[in-house]
Chains A and B, each alone.
Chain A
Amino acid sequence: MELPINRTVAWLTWRQMFAQRRIWVAAGIALLPAVVTVLFRAVADPSAEQTGFFAVLQREIVLGTLLPLAALVFGTTAFAGEAEDGTLVYLLVKPVHRWRVVTSKYAVAALTTVLVIAPAVLVPWLLLDDAALTFGIARSLLAGVAVGAVLYTAMFVLVGLLSKRAFTLGLLYVIGFENVLSRSGAVGAKSLSIREFATSIAQSTGDAAVVLGAPAVPLDTIRNAGAVILVVTLGIAIWKLARYQLAERV
């Protein structure tokens, strides 16, 4: 029985994640909430409610914006660049099953997203040092980040394999569906929104609901819809790479 992760493909993908300017993008995403928190503490009224600020920062900026953005950058990096510049061929002509190439790259992209977003949750939490913001709240948020990263990344890895304009398409999805349609109250949109899943997971655990608000999507829905999204997107990605042929003509 082969392991789903090939260590060398994972190592290569890890190096890809932070190559070129992506290291600065990652640093920017990881540290932006900390900068916002420092500014809040410097200019806000001392009596201002820190928990309210933290809730909005995490719900809207971290889970609503930075998480899908990080997943988009790292998810599309997994394949889009290699397919375009022709370096993917070096993985395809090796005795490694193509499904393992997909699962290895996906796992690294999802892990990288979690690692980059974790400081965006933890550093503001540490900086605010508020008794009302228990460790349970930070832990709940990290659980939401993990679920969001797993689902978003699967989707963006697939988009990276399907299109040369993966980043643009992904950005349109994040803005159009996740941040406009799912917030508009359109029927069923919330039940398919990964942003809502991540936020609801964070709100559903420990004492986070008091600070972050009540979850909008039940856990059962998240479990079922999340499993479908994961299986379908990764399944198509594996199917696509297994049938991938060099498009180069003569």
Chain B
Amino acid sequence: MSVIELRRASRWYGNVVAVNDMSCEVGPGITGVLGPNGAGKTTVLHMIAGLLSPSSGEVIVNGQKALGTPETYRTLALVPEREAVHGFLTGFEFVRMSARLQGLADATGAARRAIALVDLESAQHRKVATYSKGMRQRVKIAGALVHSPRVLILDEPFNGMDPRQRLHMMEVLRQAASEGCTVMISSHILEELNDLADSVLVMVAGRLAASGHFREIRKLMTDRPHTFTVRSSDDRLLAASIMRDASVFGVELGDAGVVVRTSDRGAFTRNLPRTARDAGISLREILPTDESLESVFTYLVNR
């Protein structure tokens, strides 16, 4: 059952295409939106939350377009990426304001419960201006959860949280998902969603590069070729010796050392010290050269 549906949705700003012809369906549970900075994650989330209209295509939430339909927000909530919260309000006032804007009968009670859920009771009567980044993130999440939404959109919600808070917040989101909530959460940090998301949408340069179960996509990522730059006492001899390693399928001699491409990162890093020792070469430096998230995502797009 899909709650959120993107039908060939695109969004461009002038000549810049932020989201390009994206189609997907998202149902209850936790769905991660992964991608490097600038991939279009925030634009997609803002289109779903009704803060941006698609330049072409459609974005449907619970069977209707959120943009221009205030009633949609009775069941939808957004935690924006920007940490700005009204600094002159206390945390409690901010969450109660959200409850009142939702028209809840017992706004004060709902605010208390939401504050407790994010473990912010001790600081609830302090001005938000005095909060740390992590506390602001938590009060934003409390404000979004106060009316128990059926669709929860979170844009990089773990920014600024310490590991303990992060684990606690993950538990809160799991609980919401187990109660049937559709949680969509974006991150540019792969590991952040590893244990949390049931499925992921991987975005690169505005396109949906991959979607599905996290483990399957993760496997695609780990199966991709790895590149290392190795510096040694005799780079030319090392290059010749490395070529005998079955896991290596490319070697290039350059000014910075030997650039090695391998399909099996584990086998290569195990074999390299032995290869060097057998050839009488001293290894000085081994650098993985394309481990950035961006290169991982780019591989997914180009594969």
Q: Which residues of A are in contact with B by a Cβ distance under 8 Å?
A: 6-9, 11-12, 15-16, 19-20, 85-87, 89-98, 242, 245-246, 248-250
The chain A residue sitting closest to B18, CB to CB, is A250
Chain B, residue nearest A88 (CB): B84
Q: How large is the interface on B (under 10, 10 to 19, 20 to 34, 35 or more residues)?
A: 35 or more
Instruction: Specify which chain A residues have a CB less than 8 angstroms from the CB of B103 in the assembled complex.
Output: 95
Complex CA gap A98/B87 in Å reads: 23
Instruction: Determine whether the beta carbon of B88 is less than 8 Å from that of A94.
Output: no
User: Who on chain B is nearest to A245 by CB?
Assistant: B52
With a cutoff of 8 Å between Cβ atoms, the chain B residues found around residue A92 in the complex are: 51
A249 in contact with B97 (CB, 8 Å): no
**B residues near A, CB below 8 A?**
13, 16, 18, 38-43, 46, 49-53, 68, 70-74, 76-78, 80, 82, 84-89, 97-98, 100-103, 143, 206
Choice from A19, A86, A94, A245 contacting B80 with Cβ under 8 Å: A86
Residues of A with C-beta under 8 A to B80? 86, 89
Chain B residues, Cβ within 8 Å of A6? 101
CB distance A93 to B49 under 8 Å? Answer: yes
A93: contacting residue among B13, B68, B78, B87, CB under 8 A: B78
**B100 / chain A contacts, CB cutoff of 8 Å:** 7-8
Measured CB to CB, the closest approach of chain B to A57, in angstroms, equals: 33
The reply to whether A96 and B70 contact each other, CB–CB distance below 8 Å, is yes
- What chain B residues lie within 8 Å of A87 (beta carbons)? 84-86
Contact indicator A95/B102 (Cβ below 8 Å): yes
B51 adjacent to A245 (CB under 8 Å): yes
Contacting pair A249 B98 (CB below 8 A): no
16 pairs, CB–CB < 8 Å, chain A vs chain B: A8-B97, A8-B101, A15-B89, A87-B85, A93-B51, A93-B77, A95-B72, A95-B102, A96-B70, A97-B70, A246-B51, A246-B52, A248-B42, A249-B13, A249-B43, A250-B43
CB-CB nearest in chain A for B93? A15
Bound complex: CA of A75 vs CA of B82, how far in Å?
25
CB atoms of B53 and A94 under 8 A apart: no
Contact between A245 and B53, CB atoms less than 8 A apart: yes
Does B51 contact A89, Cβ atoms closer than 8 Å? Answer: yes
Nearest CB of chain A from residue B129's CB, rounded to whole Å? 9
Q: With A242-B68, A250-B42 given, is the CB distance from A12 to B86 under 8 Å? A: yes
**Complex alpha-carbon distance, A7 and B111, angstroms:** 17
- Cα-based distance from A88 to B104 in the complex (angstroms): 21
Cβ of B143 and Cβ of A95 under 8 Å apart?
no
Q: A19-B88, A249-B13, A250-B43 are in contact. Are A95 and B52 (CB under 8 A)?
A: no
